[in-house]
Structure 1
C-alpha cells in the first residue's frame, strides 16, 4: 500500500466517527492542539444532554454533524472532505451489545463496512485509523489455563473474544485489512486497553469501567462491589494519553498497516483501584461479588511495538489518573447519572446477568 503522510497536521481535516463520545472529544482537543481541523460525526445516542455538556459537545457543536454511520451518502460526503479518518463509533459496551445484538450488528458491522468502503474509494484520505479493543484477547491464548496475574497480551498472539462486542471489533479489524489492503489505502488498527479519566460517565451494566463506577458509587455512599473479589487485572490508560497516541498514529510512517496495543504495560488489579478510591472516601465499603461471565480476567499490554512505532510512551500513572478522576467527580457532581443514584447492590448484581439475546 502507498502512504502519503505528513508529520505536520496543521490544517489537516480529520473526521472522527463517534466524535461526541468519551474518546472522540478528547481526540478533538488533542487534534486542535496539533493544528488540525477536527470534524465530528455522531448520532448522540450514547449519552444524554448532561453528559454531552460535560464532554463539551452536543447538538449545537460547530464541529459536529449529527448523523449515523449507517447513512452511507452522509458518510461518503464527510469522508470525501477528510485528510484522515478515525473510526471510533460503535455500540461500545459489552452489556449493551449482549442485550441488544441487533444494534451491535447495525453499528459495529454494517456501520463499519460503510465507513471502510467510503475510505477505500476516497483517494484523498491519507490514513484510516480503526479503534478496536483489547477485549479481542479474551482471557488470553485460547484453551490455555492461566491465572489472573499471568503474562502480557501481544499483538500477534491468538485471539479469543468472549462477547459480542469483542467479536464485532475483531471482525472490524479483519474487514479493515481486507478492504483497504485490496484498495491500497493506508490504515492502522489500535487496541486500547482500559481507558479512563475525567469525562467518563458509566453506562448501565458496564461492569468493567471500574474507575468511574467505583468513584461515583463511593461518592454516593454505596458499596464497591468487586466482581471475582477484584482479582482480575487491567491495564488502565488515561484518556489524554490515548488521544495523544491516536494523533501520533495518524502520521507515524512505521504505523502503516500495523496493529498496535495502546496501554501502559502495567497490571493493576480491580481491588487495588477500589482501595485507592477508598482513600478518598474512607466510609466506602468494599464487598466481594460474583464475576461477570463475559468480563475478561485481564492482563496488560505488551507495549514494545507501540513505543517503537509511535516513538511515544504514556505519561500518566494510574494512581495520579485516579486522583484526577476523583477530583473531577467532586467538582462535577451532576456527572453522576440518575440511574446510579437509584441502584442498590442487589440491583447491580442482577443487571450484570444479561438476559439471553432474542
Structure 2
C-alpha cells in the first residue's frame, strides 16, 4: 500500500509549484527537495504578513528558485513553465470568506490566473504532467441520492441525511454542486484544465483537497476557515470557541503532510493520468468534535454557538477508494494526533497566535 516507487520519477526533475510559499506549497516544495527534485516556487506572498512565510513556512526569499510574482503575469508564467518538467498549480484565493466578500478578486485570481497557467502549460513541449489543485468545496452540501448511491438506505436513513444527521460521502463521480464563489471557481478550473490540456494531449490530474490543517497553519482576520488553527489559537489565549451554526458542519480534516504526499503521488502515478482524485481521510469529523479535541488540551475553554457564515457548506467526507487504488496510498495522520501536534507546535511558538487576536483576549 505504501509503495513509494512512483515518486522516484521526481528525482532530478524541475517542478513549478504555484502558490509555493504558502502552507501547502511550502510543504510540497520541502518534500520535493527531499526527493532530489528542484522546486521552483511562484507566489505573490501577500496572503500573510511576511514573517509568516519566513518564520513559520520556512521560505527563503533570497533563494533564486523562490519567485515573488503573480500567476496572472502570463510572460513570467510562460518563462517558468518552460524550465520545468512538472507543474503543481496550487495558487488561489483560497479563503472561502474572502472569495464571498470579493467575488471579482476570486475570479481574477482563480479563473484568469488559472487560464494563464494553462496557456503556458499547453504551449510547453516539456511538461510531463500538471496537477490542478481543486477542493471538496465543489461538492457543496452534496445530494443525498448521489452521495449514498452506492449504499442501500432505508427511507428513514435518507431523511436523516437530508436533516444532517448522516453526513454525505463525496465520490469523484458525483455532480459538482458548489455553494460558494470559491467552490464555483474551482469547479471552473477543473473543467478548464480538462478542456485545455486534453485538447493538446498534455497529461493532467485533478486533486480535490478536503479540509487542510496542521502546523504551522496560522489564522487571518475575517476568516472562518482553518478550524483547528482557529480553535487552538483562541483556546491558548483563553478565548471562547465559536461554533458557527452550532458546530454541526462536517469536515474531512486532512493533515498538510498527507496533502503534500497525495499531491506528489498524483503528479507521478501512471494511473492518475486525466483522473480526478479526492485527497482526504475518509473520516467525518464535526466542527464540535474538533472543539472537543482542542478543549482536551485546554480544559475549561468555553464554547459559544454563532450564526453560520454565508457560503460555509455543511460538508461531508471523502470517498477514498479511488485515491487508494490510483495512488496506492492513504493518509497517515489521524485527527486526534494532528490536533495534538498542532497544539504542541503552538505551545512552542506562542507568537503564532497573532497580535490582533491576543489583543482581543486582553480587551475581553
TM-score normalised by L of structure 2: 0.90
Structural RMSD (CA): 1.8
What's 1:279 paired with?
Answer: 296
SS at match of 1:14: strand
**What is the CA–CA distance in structure 2 between the aligned matches of 1:320 and 1:142, rounded to whole Å?**
31
**What is the CA–CA distance in structure 1 between the aligned matches of 2:354 and 2:124, rounded to whole Å?**
40
Distance of aligned partners of 1:216 and 1:101 in 2 relative to their CA distance in 1, 3 Å threshold? same
SS at match of 2:188: helix
Distance of aligned partners of 1:311 and 1:146 in 2 relative to their CA distance in 1, 3 Å threshold? farther
SS at match of 1:206: coil
Following TM superposition, by how much is the alpha carbon of 1:337 offset from its aligned partner in structure 2, in angstroms?
1.8
**What is the CA–CA distance in structure 2 between the aligned matches of 1:265 and 1:329, rounded to whole Å?**
27
What's 1:38 paired with?
Answer: 39
| C-alpha contact 2:144 2:168 (8 A) present in aligned 1 | no
Distance of aligned partners of 1:6 and 1:147 in 2 relative to their CA distance in 1, 3 Å threshold? closer
Structure 2 stretches of 5 or more lacking a match?
1-5, 147-161
Larger displacement relative to structure 2 (313-322 or 224-233) = 224-233
Instruction: Describe how 1:227-238 pairs up with structure 2 within 5 A.
Output: 227-238=244-255
**What is the CA–CA distance in structure 1 between the aligned matches of 2:121 and 2:42, rounded to whole Å?**
15
Structure 1 stretches of 5 or more lacking a match?
348-358
What's 2:154 paired with?
Answer: none
* Aligned length, in residue pairs: 342
Instruction: Describe how 1:23-172 pairs up with structure 2 within 5 A.
Output: 23-53=24-54, 54-141=56-143, 145-172=162-189
What's 2:239 paired with?
Answer: 222
**What is the CA–CA distance in structure 1 between the aligned matches of 2:49 and 2:60, rounded to whole Å?**
9
Is structure 2 residue 214 aligned with structure 1 residue 197?
A: yes
| C-alpha contact 2:167 2:250 (8 A) present in aligned 1 | no
Distance of aligned partners of 1:218 and 1:183 in 2 relative to their CA distance in 1, 3 Å threshold? same
Q: Kindly provide the CA deviation profile for residues 211-230 of structure 1, in whole angstroms up to 9, marking residues without a partner as x.
A: 00000000111010111211
| C-alpha contact 1:149 1:232 (8 A) present in aligned 2 | no
Runs of 4+ displaced beyond 4 Å: none
Following TM superposition, by how much is the alpha carbon of 1:149 offset from its aligned partner in structure 2, in angstroms?
2.8
Following TM superposition, by how much is the alpha carbon of 1:60 offset from its aligned partner in structure 2, in angstroms?
2.3
TM-score normalised by L of structure 1: 0.92
**What is the CA–CA distance in structure 1 between the aligned matches of 2:349 and 2:112, rounded to whole Å?**
36
